[in-house]
Homo-oligomer: A and B are copies of this chain.
Amino acid sequence: MPGHTVQFDTLAEPLMVSAGELVVEAASRAGLEIQQPCGGQGRCGRCAVRIESGRVRRRSTLRLSQADVDAGYALACQTVLEGDVSIIVPPPERIQRRLTTDHVAPDAVVPEGYDPGQAQTVRRVLLNLSPPSMDDQTDDWGRLGAALRRVAGVDRLDASLEQIRQLGPVLRSSDWEIALTFDAGREKDGTAHLIRAQTAVDAEDEPLCGLAIDIGTTTVTVWLIDLVTGQVMHQASEYNQQITRGEDVISRIIYGSKGTGGDELRGLVLESINGLVETACRRSGVDHEEIVKATISGNSTMMHLLLGIPPESIRLEPFIAPINHLPLLRAGDVGIAMNADGVVDPLPGVASYVGADITAGVLAAGLRATPDTTLFIDVGTNGEIVLGSSEWLVTCACSAGPAFEGAGIQSGMRADKGAIEEVWIDGNTFEPTCRVIGNAPPRGICGSGLISLVAEMFLTGILDKGGHIDETLDTPRVRRSPRGAEFVVTWAGETEIGEDIVITRVDIDNLLRAKAAIYAGFNVLADGVGVELESVERVLIGGSFGKYINVEKAIDIGLLPDLPWERFEYLGNTSVRGAYLALLDRESRAEIAGIASSMTYIELSADNTFYEAFTSAMFLPHTDLSRFPTVAAATTNGG
């Protein structure tokens, strides 16, 4: 059989190859090392190259989407050269980004068709009042109201006593030309709320800003928004300082229920928010007084703690939140570092464990935009799941435990510098290759690393479908310790901490419980509305943790349903994006309220099909392998 040539873009000369040779073999002969963390089993996708021209045969495209294949991508370890071929070898970081962020939606794009003059929640209007006279004896407030009606179509305006006190002097010092900033209120033709009355001169060129705030259990995110253009001026995130008082919502509630714990937690989250606001203001040259509105998203516990509302009942059966639909609040009462007369709009939740982060997330994800059956998930300490379409919505919350946050795991840690976030295991040698956040020596394993690790251990046969470690394997990494069987991911000498980084049988059980809870949630929702999970047309992943989940690995362990890659979309922080939309646009705000009201909440602990679904999901990937055909294929293929 005649030879062919292959031209790698990184090499000067073409290379002769024999027919049937793999791309990795040819490259290796030419001294070109292509990474194969999974040991050439076509599972990790890190050896992806782009075939510019020529004929090849792809034995497996497991890690590639159809779009990838259409664009010419092929796995170097699984692709046979069948003619004269020209190949581009992308730099490793490009592959990495392509695999993990291809489908990440842009975070902060001004909504299409956004018209700054319309549907805004906050407006500033210039009013040129005719001065009073002996013939026109209307009082100041009535004069203002009449002008506002004429200029802005606002029939009713309310104001605090303090604002009323300041009005007369402002009107007179402005020579009856004032700039009035008001919140249009949630309801169309409802009452507007005065935020600020300034002389027109003072208001000139002054920014009109808002905040979209997402309070996560772990991370607080603040966007500073120009309310006139809709542009995001600054984005910032930092840990929720409450973390020092408990890592999950339950421990926060317990802490907040004792003595002054509630006040303390309120103070801590305000410190986090106000620190971010401070930074955003400094970077953008904005004064706090110029921030006149904030929308707040977050889970129900975070919302209650921020507002100082006792959250105890959220934790105790029957798990009832004091309030899901909060009124508009005065910023000064809430304590956010902005104009004290500004308006804080806490977005509505559905239930104690399906909060504003989900209703805002559903809006931001556009779940209701099409009649397609869509699954929306936000996985963190709890996994909140929404199944629905433009016509209907059901939701539930799965108590996943902290495993996905890296907590309760022998070598677990948060997704921080030094965390192992992805693992590939060579199917022959059982040697792992790790990607570590910050490219540093590893300190532990974060949630996504754990998913990746368990998936690889299962695919390479280190774990059986029950999650048991095969202690007969010929590798020193599998060993028995006083706490049972374990697998060494990184030897002490290669770590930052000077200890072996391991995964134990207990860790695996924790992860199985977490993923089983989520998957059982999918089942209960789908069964509840009579939809087959396989028929779900889109899977939208929100939340900050979702960003790090490798979809394929999550399918491998049975966390996500086994659907084609193309149906998955990672949307980033949908919670803050929903808050952003609600900040700009009154119709979006109304839609979030509509979502919160129309969603059917299913309390899993009261659902008698949940336990069975959970038990069936406590396997890798599931007791019913027919639900995971691609995983079944991969285990056969890669064995």
Does A322 lie within 8 Å of B139, measured CB to CB? yes
Does B309 lie within 8 Å of A134, measured CB to CB? no
Does chain B have a CB within 8 A of A164? yes
Closest beta carbon of chain B to A242's beta carbon, Å = 18
Does B158 lie within 8 Å of A323, measured CB to CB? no
Does B161 lie within 8 Å of A325, measured CB to CB? no
What residues of B have a CB within 8 angstroms of the CB of A54 in the complex? none
Does A134 lie within 8 Å of B318, measured CB to CB? yes
Does chain B have a CB within 8 A of A19? no
What residues of B have a CB within 8 angstroms of the CB of A125 in the complex? none
Does chain B have a CB within 8 A of A172? yes
Closest beta carbon of chain B to A502's beta carbon, Å = 40
A161, A165, A308, A334 — most chain B CB neighbours (10 Å): A161
Closest beta carbon of chain B to A340's beta carbon, Å = 14
Q: What residue in chain B is nearest A310 (Cβ atoms)?
A: B168
What residues of B have a CB within 8 angstroms of the CB of A307 in the complex? 161, 164-165
Which one of A31-39, A398-406, A599-607 contacts B? Answer: A599-607
Given A140-B313, A172-B313, A310-B169: A323 and B164 within 8 A (CB)? yes
Does chain B have a CB within 8 A of A244? no
Does chain B have a CB within 8 A of A392? no
Q: How far, in angstroms, from A347 to B271 measured CA to CA in the complex?
A: 42
Q: How far, in angstroms, from A575 to B351 measured CA to CA in the complex?
A: 50
What residues of B have a CB within 8 angstroms of the CB of A161 in the complex? 307-309, 329, 333-334
Given A165-B308, A165-B309, A165-B310: A323 and B137 within 8 A (CB)? no
Those of A161-192 within 8 Å (CB) of chain B: 161-162, 164-165, 167-169, 172
Does chain B have a CB within 8 A of A81? no
Does B168 lie within 8 Å of A322, measured CB to CB? yes
Does chain B have a CB within 8 A of A324? yes
Q: How far, in angstroms, from A333 to B164 measured CA to CA in the complex?
A: 13
What residues of B have a CB within 8 angstroms of the CB of A168 in the complex? 309-310, 312-313, 322
What residues of B have a CB within 8 angstroms of the CB of A138 in the complex? 320
Q: What residue in chain B is nearest A327 (Cβ atoms)?
A: B158
Q: What residue in chain B is nearest A319 (Cβ atoms)?
A: B137
Q: How far, in angstroms, from A323 to B308 measured CA to CA in the complex?
A: 35
What residues of B have a CB within 8 angstroms of the CB of A140 in the complex? 313, 320-323
What residues of B have a CB within 8 angstroms of the CB of A164 in the complex? 307, 309, 322-323, 326
Set B142, B169, B326, B603: member contacting A137, Cβ < 8 A: B603
Does A141 lie within 8 Å of B322, measured CB to CB? yes
What residues of B have a CB within 8 angstroms of the CB of A133 in the complex? 318
What residues of B have a CB within 8 angstroms of the CB of A321 in the complex? 139-140
Number of interface residues of A (CB under 8 A): 48
Does chain B have a CB within 8 A of A70? no
Does B317 lie within 8 Å of A137, measured CB to CB? no
Does chain B have a CB within 8 A of A135? yes
Q: How far, in angstroms, from A86 to B318 measured CA to CA in the complex?
A: 89
Does B605 lie within 8 Å of A137, measured CB to CB? no
- This chain's copy number in the assembly: 2
Set B132, B169, B310, B334: member contacting A320, Cβ < 8 A: B132
Q: What residue in chain B is nearest A133 (Cβ atoms)?
A: B318
Those of A18-33 within 8 Å (CB) of chain B: none
Does chain B have a CB within 8 A of A109? no
Q: What residue in chain B is nearest A131 (Cβ atoms)?
A: B318
Q: How far, in angstroms, from A308 to B167 measured CA to CA in the complex?
A: 12
Set B139, B162, B310: member contacting A323, Cβ < 8 A: B139
Closest beta carbon of chain B to A594's beta carbon, Å = 15
Q: How far, in angstroms, from A329 to B165 measured CA to CA in the complex?
A: 13
Q: What residue in chain B is nearest A605 (Cβ atoms)?
A: B134
Does chain B have a CB within 8 A of A159? yes
Closest beta carbon of chain B to A370's beta carbon, Å = 28
Q: How far, in angstroms, from A142 to B597 measured CA to CA in the complex?
A: 11
Closest beta carbon of chain B to A165's beta carbon, Å = 5
What residues of B have a CB within 8 angstroms of the CB of A603 in the complex? 134, 137
Q: What residue in chain B is nearest A165 (Cβ atoms)?
A: B309
Closest beta carbon of chain B to A264's beta carbon, Å = 15
Does A159 lie within 8 Å of B327, measured CB to CB? yes
6 pairs of A and B residues whose beta carbons are closest in the complex = A134-B606, A141-B323, A168-B322, A132-B320, A139-B324, A139-B321
Closest beta carbon of chain B to A327's beta carbon, Å = 6
Q: What residue in chain B is nearest A349 (Cβ atoms)?
A: B139
What residues of B have a CB within 8 angstroms of the CB of A601 in the complex? 137
Does B172 lie within 8 Å of A141, measured CB to CB? no
Set B135, B139, B324: member contacting A142, Cβ < 8 A: B324
Q: How far, in angstroms, from A323 to B326 measured CA to CA in the complex?
A: 30
Q: What residue in chain B is nearest A354 (Cβ atoms)?
A: B137
Q: How far, in angstroms, from A321 to B171 measured CA to CA in the complex?
A: 12
- 29 of the cross-chain contacts (CB-CB < 8 Å) are A132-B318, A133-B318, A134-B318, A134-B603, A134-B605, A136-B318, A137-B320, A137-B352, A137-B603, A138-B320, A139-B320, A139-B321, A140-B313, A140-B320, A140-B321, A141-B322, A142-B325, A158-B327, A159-B327, A160-B333, A161-B307, A161-B309, A161-B333, A161-B334, A162-B333, A164-B307, A165-B309, A167-B323, A168-B309
